[in-house]
Structure 1
Amino acid sequence: MTTRQKVSFPGADATLTGNLFLPGTDRPTAGVVVAGTWTSVKEMMADRYAERLADRGYAALSFDFTGFGESGGEPRDVENPAGRVRDIHHAVTFLGHHPSVDAGRLGALGICAAAMYMADNTAHDSRIRSLTLVAPWLHDAVVCEAAYGGAEAVAEKIAMGRAARSRFDETGEIEYVPVVSTTDPGAAMPYDIDFYLNPARGAIPAWPNRFAVMAWADWLTYDAIALAPKIIQPTLLVHSEDAAIPDGARRFHAGLAGPRDILWTQGTQFDFYDTEPQVTISVDSAAAHFGRTL
């Protein structure tokens, strides 16, 4: 029977808090680090995937990144790709040293934006033996221009982010906008997205729905597509043509240096966070992939 342990472990700059889901086995088993969308906390989707993986025999760790949720660290709620990759590296260290985990059988699963961060760590961390990316958001400059309204709009957001960063460096004040809003055109996602606005789904008390404007610069200049040729570990992508930026997933998949597979299924981006059958399809596919490769 699956059990859950609240755990804490050191990150680069703060103590990180997570949930470790363990299968009911007496011997060390393969371990998987799990993370979710940008700005998210572990309860929104990472816990769901981690628990389902434990049900299938894996030790799975979900956690809050530095400055988010129950984890320590300042400033709060600032999306920082490089910082998130460092946090994942520390999460892998913690999981690999846990007595319930076989340190020689470690995998990673990233949902949406965490696909980029898990891919980045995997490209530089030989301890990760297998990678699964679910509804992966994988971007570079070309993808960002297509997703955010063209080169001029992207440049404007980058300039806004750099200006906000300068104000933070000078004053310590952080400029926030909503992550999702139907009324604020300055929101990071100014759309009616039920997952993020519905308390029965992602709009939980632990998630403050705020985006630090200074994060735009790091986010929009991050190149995940360039990571693919550096990844030699077996990699599975689970995606849909109706989900976010499928062209980014195709380009990333084509560039992978190691064994690769991609499962095209159906569903919107947000279906993969908490909706059936997308979650079960994704977890079953990930478990089978890890079973073959760990």
Structure 2
Amino acid sequence: MPITSITRRNLGLAVGATAVLLSAGENTMALTLTERTQPVPEKVSFESGDGFVVANLYLPEGHDPSRRYPAVAVGGSLTSVKEQMGGNYAGELARRGIIALAIDYRNYGESSGAMRQFEDQASKAEDLSAALRYLKKRSEVAGTGILGICTSGGTALYTAAKDPNVGALATVAGFFSDPELVSKMFGGKEGIDSRIAASREARKRYDDEGVIQTVFAYMPNDKTAVSSGPNEYYMDHSRGGSVRAWRNEFAVMAWEPWLAFDPLAQAPHVTAPALVVHSDGAAFPDQARKMYGLLAGPKESHWTEGKHYDFYDQAETVRQAADRVASHFHSKLG
């Protein structure tokens, strides 16, 4: 398994500062949305766990502090940063009269964390809760909710299952894993056991030496990567691959918690009004249907058209999804 390594001493406090500089230079193309085509956000930060989260705050046009608005925290795909699909949707929600906060989870982007590129759903769920607490403190906020895109659709269920500040929930092209799907994706018991062994060995090396071993998060035809499909959004330097604050890396020590990612187990505990936006062309549509059936509260399903990555940045697909999501949040949080 090809592995690269970085050390904590090479990261330090410089991570946040350099990410600001590296986020410049994204390209745009016709009919493709990027975070840089959205309204200009305000950069904010707030405490979460033992560190802090950095986020881009998008306010509706003509924002009036004396009015009341729905407010939504937005999270994106595995390893993504706020300048990718999270920023696209946050900007589109702001255009539709919603205060929206696109976040960098801890250990990613500009947020804190020494264990860079480490996937941990407990930490991520707490970051979404911290984002809701930040939004709730604002005087113009009427109610708070979460929008999860791809992996964050699953992560949002972890938060919504426990946090009463989730007044409403929406997912777009969500990834809703469970043990059966994990087994199919990663070669059954043998594949899972080998990754867990590698995870524990990498964690020991991190604890002993401060070294973070990584593999590609996305790489076509690379079986050591987390995803070895075409991954055109990330491979295209006019799309997600153009966001230089994003790193195509996955910490090897994160295999064990990543393989345990089970949002379907959380769904029966989610009572907040939920909207599920998905398509047969998006990732694992049967998992989305299964998750929808398990939700315990009021729910709506918007089954539409589009390939998975269309929901990240293709203008028409994103805007249609944002219309539906905004309507949901206005009705439930307004």
TM-score of the superposition, structure 1-length normalised? Answer: 0.95
Deviations along 1:89-132, whole A, 9 cap, x unmatched? Answer: 11111111123322xx1111000000111111111111111100
Q: CA RMSD in A?
A: 1.6
Match of 2:310 among 264, 267, 271: 271
Structure 1 CA distance, aligned partners of 2:252 and 2:40? 38
- Structure ranking higher on relative contact order (CA contacts 8 Å, 6+ apart): 2
Equivalences for residues 22-171 of structure 1 within 5 A: 22-23=59-60, 24-26=62-64, 27-102=67-142, 105-171=143-209
Q: 1:55-111 CA distances to partner (integer Å, 9 max, x unpaired)? A: 100100011111111112211111111110111111111111123322xx1111000
2: CA distance, partners of 1:32 / 1:215: 28
Q: Which residue of 2 aligns with 1:244?
A: 283
SS at 1:87 equivalent: helix
C-alpha displacement of 1:167: 2.1
How much has 1:154 moved relative to structure 2?
A: 2.5
Alignment-derived partner of residue 216 in structure 2:
178
Equivalents in 2 of 1:269, 1:157: separation in Å?
Answer: 26
Q: Within 2, Cα distance between the matches of 1:183 and 1:238?
A: 29
1:10 to 1:291, Cα distance in 2 relative to 1, 3 A: same
1:234 partnered with 2:298: no
The farther-off stretch of 177-186 and 64-73 is 177-186
The aligned counterpart of 2:328 is 289
Indicate yes or no: 2:236 matched with 1:198: yes
- Once residues 189 and 311 of structure 2 are traced to their aligned partners in structure 1, the CA distance between those partners, rounded to angstroms, is 29
Correspondence for 1:255 among 284, 294, 299 = 294
Aligned residues: 292
| Unaligned runs of at least 5 residues, structure 1 | none
Which sits farther off after the overlay, 45-54 or 69-78?
A: 69-78
CA distance in 2, matches of 1:208, 1:257: 36
TM-score calculated relative to the size of structure 2? 0.84
Which residue in 2 is equivalent to 1:20? 57
**CA–CA separation in structure 2 for the residues paired with 1:95 and 1:89:** 10
Match of 1:8 among 35, 39, 45: 45
Letter in 2 for 1:89: S
Matches of 1:148 and 1:173, distance apart in 2: 25
Larger CA deviation: 254-263 vs 189-198: 189-198
The one-letter code matched in structure 2 to 1:9 is F
Taking the aligned partners of 1:187 and 1:179, their CA distance within structure 2 comes to: 5
Kept in 1, the 8 Å contact 2:268–2:296? The answer is yes
User: Which residue of 225, 234, 246 corresponds with 1:207?
Assistant: 246
User: Contact conserved, 1:13 with 1:66, CA < 8 A, in 2?
Assistant: no
